[in-house]
Structure 1
């Protein structure tokens, strides 16, 4: 436990940007405190060792849960819940140690309380897909197995008591309990260390694929995803449409109010565009003020409707900047992808449609007819 705690602290010290790592380090620090209390229990009054041990175990599980939520980007729990749960666990342990001694019930409450924290941690982490995030699922599995064992642990002691009547149940099957705890917590700890690598790899991939200003895909990543969407459309014989959008007179905004204001306008536009799209739609920034959107499984009428809805929304929602509201308009080109064409060719045709919309007076949607052989026909 001391080794894992030390390594976690060292990793957190140099990677403080990784969400949840600080909480996980504190969790294992509580686990280290618990082991120290166990080593000193013969030198401490029973009620002191029980309260310290139960408090450390409760905090360890709760901080593990908070670390999982932070890593997954989930909102913070109201700390009153965690504090109340730990106070109840410690209070019940104190009552069942000092007032009405009952090791069996005390052990049951302690085990099930800790189990809840680890099972909730497993539930939080088991998201995103096994293939994409295998380490995350490994940690979730370790936490789940540990949680289930904690649920069953009181029954194991009861079994030991039944098989060896008259023998102190604390001594009946201690090796199994200690071994499981060591293995599970070490697995979870080293899984957390592997999660730091997963997070760093994901962050680097995001830097390579995402536009840093608007948080949509950059041109290279967008074209890769468009190629994949074209392949999928060919296999399923479904339609695929591409939109190219350009913000009208954007250079004038930059020249008049500066690039910071222009950046705010771009982010405002992306937020509006995202509200018009489905989960399966893909948006990318091609460069400057030009964006593109892939609409899988959308027919011509549906693609035109999305483009018109986006155009109308942008025109009706000014960007709120430090210089006041700035009214925007966009020109949108729409085209359907052909069976054998490349992503660059489809994008070029949608780009031509966008420029035709500008020629027609801007703040327009123009549909460019695709070649005869189109995907889905």
Structure 2
């Protein structure tokens, strides 16, 4: 886990998981010491380590999911479990109590971890599903351990099941959880790399490669379902003058603002990409050229109200060329060629306007 943190981007949740397993190393060592030395204190340290390790596991999962980590969600129950453990290992405590409190608490924490792992608006990735399954098995194992503790009635009476679960099932599930977590970290890294390959780092929309790949799928889907498809090619009027007059920082702000405006104007499922420089391409599904032009007219008006935080005196305008999928189009480049021609006509006609290819032809 530490190697994963060092070499896979040094993300906060991976560091938290590293700490979780580091604590677990000492927890298992204390547990072994408590068994061989018959030390209640070492058993208590092992119990506290288990609570801490499980808490860090749950915190790391919430960090990865972007969910808040309220301190009281973990601190108060962990403190209560620690106090209960101290009571359990004291002379007034019972062995069944010692073996039940911590596994029950950890089982609840791990169950919370599994719920926190559940994606909000998408399906599980294969590594996430493996991690989720192992966490569920972990929670079930802790519940079984707590239940087995209820069978302990004396110094050695009723401990067979408890020891079998603790010595056989628990180490296996610890290793399984660690391996599954590593797979999640590697899967996240692979997903980040795929995103970097297909997305523009400045505007966070598709780059030309991502737009081309999305275009192939969009055209195939439109053909399959006999639906319309429109392509819009647009750019900022006078972008070079903006860069020359105010610098590249102003140009970058304009590109980011324009990309955000385009993304917010289209529907979910429509595609926005940066084709290069200040030129953007939009694929509008189930839309003909006229409908796409209506959407872009709203964008054209809003571009005029787009302000750059550090350059309030800069005035932005944009031009748009629109083309729709035709029967003899075989690839995205066919639409791009016509939309580019319409954009050129819009520029030639005075800029700050929208031109449909049929009108420009």
Relative to 1, partners in 2 of residues 1:116 and 1:173: Cα closer, same or farther, differing over 3 Å?
Answer: closer
Superimposed CA distance per residue, residues 145-177 of structure 1 (whole angstroms, 9 cap, x where no aligned partner): 21233234333444x56xx99963334341123
Is 1:328 matched with 2:322? no
- Alignment match, 2:202: 213
- Alignment match, 1:4: none
Query: Does the CA contact (< 8 Å) of 2:261 and 2:299 recur in 1?
Result: yes
What secondary structure is seen at the aligned counterpart in 2 of 1:216? coil
Is 1:28 matched with 2:21? yes
- For 1:357 and 1:265, the matched residues in 2 are separated by 20
Superimposed CA distance per residue, residues 310-361 of structure 1 (whole angstroms, 9 cap, x where no aligned partner): 222222121212x445321211222221244111111222222222222333
Query: Does the CA contact (< 8 Å) of 1:125 and 1:137 recur in 2?
Result: no
Q: TM (normalized to structure 2)?
A: 0.88
Give the Å deviation of 1:100: 5.0
Query: Does the CA contact (< 8 Å) of 1:332 and 1:354 recur in 2?
Result: yes
Give the Å deviation of 1:102: 4.0
Q: Which moved more, 1:95-104 or 1:18-27?
A: 95-104
- Alignment match, 1:177: 166
The one of 98, 102, 112 equivalent to 1:120 is 112
- For 2:296 and 2:148, the matched residues in 1 are separated by 63
- RMSD of the alignment, in Å? 2.6
- Alignment match, 2:292: 303
Query: Does the CA contact (< 8 Å) of 1:50 and 1:93 recur in 2?
Result: no
Q: Aligned ranges for residues 145-184 of structure 1 at < 5 Å?
A: 145-158=137-150, 168-184=157-173
What secondary structure is seen at the aligned counterpart in 1 of 2:234? strand
Query: Does the CA contact (< 8 Å) of 2:229 and 2:287 recur in 1?
Result: yes
Instruction: Show structure 1 runs of 5+ residues with no match.
Output: 1-7, 371-377
Give the Å deviation of 1:108: 3.9
Give the Å deviation of 1:93: 2.1
- For 1:369 and 1:100, the matched residues in 2 are separated by 89
Relative to 1, partners in 2 of residues 1:235 and 1:250: Cα closer, same or farther, differing over 3 Å?
Answer: same
The one of 68, 75, 83 equivalent to 1:83 is 75
Give the Å deviation of 1:106: 5.1
- For 2:46 and 2:356, the matched residues in 1 are separated by 70
- Alignment match, 1:253: 242
- For 1:327 and 1:109, the matched residues in 2 are separated by 66
Give the aligned length.
355
- For 2:345 and 2:30, the matched residues in 1 are separated by 76
Is 1:57 matched with 2:64? no
Superimposed CA distance per residue, residues 45-73 of structure 1 (whole angstroms, 9 cap, x where no aligned partner): 52x3344223211221121122223334x
Q: Which moved more, 1:110-119 or 1:300-309?
A: 300-309
Query: Does the CA contact (< 8 Å) of 1:331 and 1:365 recur in 2?
Result: yes
The one of 55, 69, 73 equivalent to 2:62 is 69
